[in-house]
Structure 1
Amino acid sequence: MDTATEVHLDFDAAYQRLKDVVKHTPLEYNERLSAKYECEIYLKREDLQIVRSYKLRGAYNLIAQLSQEQLDKGVVCASAGNHAQGVAYSCKKKGIKGVIYMPEITPKQKVKQTEMFGNGNVELVLTGDTFDDCLREALIYTKEHGLAFIPPFDDYRTIEGQGTVGVEILQDLPNFDVAIMPIGGGGLAAGMGTYLKQQLPNITLIGVEPEGAPSMLTSMNKGENITLGDIDRFVDGAAVKRVGDKTFAICRELLDEMLTVPEGKVCTTILKLYNEDAIVVEPAGALSVTALDAVKDKIKGKKVVCVISGGNNDIDRMQEIKEKSLLYEGLKHYFIVRFPQRPGALKLFVNNVLAPGDDITRFEFIKKNSKENGPALVGIELKNAEDYPALLERMAEHRFEVIELNRDQTLFEYLV
């Protein structure tokens, strides 16, 4: 298997192919994060790219190098959303046909954007529950029709294109200490990491994956590229069961540290970036900033670049994002409550068990024919996470029998 030192990736040539196609996205100093972590933090805003993610770079760089015969036949790709938009835009730009496979669970916003960027040049096929499912179908279709497949990450031309993110960063900030990059299949980290190490040999490269889909970290720990079983698909832009063989070989050699972050913490970051910085990011786009807490002692006093990889966030997901954030922060709790068989029990619960800042966000009797004394599903949002032990004490004091659903994953998934 080739390693980073054995592969020649021409980032300058890729930059020339792309400079009139992609947007040179801003590298913005973030005052809030810099003050919080006592360092200089810059955000590479690939959420402001033409297709709202860096994926256009790799897709166009590969397609631009196909033969005319291949272009005339058309291309195929598989994607969880952002690569699809990059391929769609490239097809429109080149005037060629594309067939794009996406998982059935792909957010509607990404499906509509792909259709828009393709502008009649692409056909969409929604199939399977994960990226890996639709990839399998796309490869079968590619082989049957003799078309060119455009890999989302495991191709040196794709890796080369993603590496132009690093080219732009060094144009705007010629010297810095740490780069934090999100990892799904590994194309961005492999390309950007290779270029940065070439130019700044002492730079620290950190990769970040969602906790529920740690394919790169698991493979690194085992010393070989492996395929995960079940994964959490929430961070859809970075949730893959298997990273690329080529990207794994490069990242294993280049990365100084590989981290995972909880999905709930990612949601908290999404909300903070929106509320405090007016930046709209998708879950994968928030990975690098989410990881800052884990490396805060290592980055103090240094110049740090975090790649905001994408901003394709469906507004319909915001309620789910808020819920996951509240659960992670310990501010949202669900219970099965068995009310005492005495008059005024519900009133007592509201007036004497809940604190002044607490709020009931959900209430429903589980047994519809036993509403007077049957168990109820109760959701409570706290003002402060530290108030939770006192809430439990008041429940016990007033003889309310409860089951804490947050501590029982099976019951939680079944009832909530």
Structure 2
Amino acid sequence: MTYFPKLEDIKAAEAIIRKVARVTPLDESIRLSKQYGATILLKREDLHRVRSYKIRGAFNKISFLTQEERSRGVVCASAGNHAQGVAFACHHLGIKGTIYMPSVTSKQKIEQTKMFGGDSVTIVLEGDTYDDSSKAALQYCEEQTKTFVHAFDDEKVIEGQATIGLELLEQFNAPIDYVFVAIGGGGLASGLCAVFSRLSPKTKIIGVEPEGAPSMKTSIEKGENTRLETIDKFIDGAAVQRVGDLTFPICQKYLHEICTVPEGKVCQTILDLYNRDAIVVEPAGALTISALDAYAATIKGKNVVCILSGSNNDITRTAEIKERALLYGKLKHYFIVRFPQRPGALKQFVADILGPEDDITHFEYSKKSSKENAPAIVGIELKSPDDLQPLIQRMKAKNFYGEYLNDKPDLFQYLV
């Protein structure tokens, strides 16, 4: 391990960050505490002015630049939250910044970055993933001799994120048994490991990654920092192909465990937090709560902290979030239905095939042909997962059944 954060450096970062960021609340969730029979505390990093914890590391890093480095300007790459932290720091400190973001970044995050940076920043959209943007940003940075502000693999950034650990220990008077932290590149997890390994070594740090982007879990299992060839980019705030070279050995040694959570489960958590707790989080911000089910027996009776890392969620993603949640919960099902080419076929399907609480939410019918049956792609939302098999049986009995698409991912992606 070439680097491990020093407590004095983390405390120095805390003093710097206090100039622009308040101490975020540590609130008990009554609903989750009852559900799991534990004290579930939410560290509300979503309530920063840039709506994520990334302001900590970005501001700390840029504050330590020399006057010469400041005059040349800075460069960063980010899927959104780090970009906003860097933009805010540049505007606050009067430094010019160039911010590279993936071309698929939501409009909401781009607009927020522009708002916080004002005339101090220039935004460049490059590549399909964070890693693509990072590569382009590093090349530009080298060509222009500017300072690169890494989203996670930087000493001052890690020390800035680590200040969350100091706050937690100051805010909660009893021992903290578990801290659940989302992992993208590992900057926040590394910082927490540094604090708790020294000040509260019995606290177990649980890292949580998206199932479709398990870069840290894969690296720890292989014993070396490993780049994933493909990732699911849906949880953009925690989807990287390769974790940091500084963060990997820290997490490898000090994380108690690391787990992955399906993207669909994260979507259901987002909806539950909004509908039941009036809390808005982005997909990465919902990762830690989504992991609690897997630890339900372990955390019973314990003091548990879940870090809500950010709330930069674009409302235009709501339909996709709901769709993924329904698919994960086995409540949304897609079929190729073969309708007989005769009058009244659709009416019969609705009357005889659908259950009393089933709902057609998607319908694409092909043009008529000379065949006896014409296919349609039909999406049906069920009240309960148990209603699926009776539905399929009725479809087969009346000769409507064609294909079930949910378990055919290639066909599903092509048709739906």
| TM class, shorter-length | over 0.9
Bigger mean CA offset, 174-183 vs 98-107? 174-183
Are the aligned partners of 1:9 and 1:160 in contact in 2 as well (CA < 8 Å)? no
- Give the equivalent residue in structure 2 for 1:142: 141
SS of 1:120's equivalent? helix
Corresponding residue number in structure 2 for 1:222: 222
Maintained 8 Å contact 1:334/1:378: yes
- Name the CA distance, whole Å, in 2 between partners of 1:362 and 1:120: 45
User: Structure 1 pair 242/370, CA: closer, same or farther in 2 (3 Å)?
Assistant: farther
Shift of the alpha carbon at 1:7?
6.1
1:171-320 counterparts in 2 under 5 A? 171-174=170-173, 175-320=175-320
Deviates more, 1:152-161 or 1:340-349: 340-349
* Aligned residue identity for 1:289: I
Distance in 2, Cα, partners of 1:103 & 1:78: 8
**Could you say which residue in structure 2 is the equivalent of 1:11?**
10
Unaligned runs of 5+ in 2: none
1:366 deviation in Å?
2.9
Q: Map 1:12-411 onto structure 2 (within 5 A).
A: 12-174=11-173, 175-367=175-367, 373-411=373-411
Q: Output one character per residue of 1:308-339: Cα deviation in whole Å (capped at 9) or x when no partner.
A: 00000000000000000000000100100011
CA distance in 1, matches of 2:368, 2:121: 50
Compute the displacement of 1:232 (Å): 0.3
State the AA in 1 paired with 2:61: L
Residue 295 of structure 1 aligns with an amino acid whose one-letter code is Y
Residue identity in the other structure for 2:304: V
Backbone CA RMSD of aligned residues? 1.4
Write the distance in 1 (CA, Å) between the matches of 2:7 and 2:203: 20
Give the secondary-structure state (helix, strand or coil) at the position aligned to 1:307. strand
SS at structure 2 position matched to 1:364: strand
Q: Displacement of 1:241 after TM fit?
A: 0.1
Q: Distance in 1 between matches of 2:8 and 2:253?
A: 15
Q: Which amino acid aligns with 1:333?
A: H
1:371 and 1:125 map into 2 onto residues whose CA distance is 53
Task: Compute the displacement of 1:3 (Å).
Answer: 5.5
How far residue 170 of structure 1 moved from its aligned partner, in angstroms, is: 1.2
Q: Which moved more, 1:320-329 or 1:169-178?
A: 169-178
Q: Identity of counterpart residues, as a percentage?
A: 57
Residue by residue over 1:100-157, the C-alpha shift from the partner in whole angstroms, topping out at 9 and shown as x without a partner, is 0000000110000000000211000001000000100000010001111100000111
SS in 2 for 1:51: coil
Taking the aligned partners of 1:120 and 1:356, their CA distance within structure 2 comes to: 58
Give 1:368 deviation, angstroms: 6.0
Distance across 2 between alignment mates of 1:401 and 1:93: 62
In the alignment, is the contact (CA less than 8 A) between 2:6 and 2:194 conserved in 1? no
Measure, in 1, the Cα distance between the counterparts of 2:8 and 2:243. Answer: 19
The normalised TM-score by structure 1 is 0.97
**Alignment-mate amino acid for residue 186 of structure 1:** G
Letter in 2 for 1:77: C
2: CA distance between counterparts of 1:184 and 1:23?
Answer: 24
**Cα separation, partners in 2 of 1:371 and 1:64, compared to 1, 3 Å:** farther
Q: Secondary structure, in 3 states, of the residue corresponding to 1:336?
A: strand
Kindly provide the amino acid, as one letter, of the partner of residue 403 in structure 1.
Answer: E
How far apart are 1:397 and its partner, in Å?
Answer: 1.7
SS in structure 2 opposite 1:374?
strand
The amino acid that maps onto 1:219 is S
| Preserved contact between residue 177 and residue 304 of structure 1 (Cα < 8 Å) | yes
Q: What amino acid maps onto 1:176 in structure 2?
A: I
SS at match of 1:10: helix
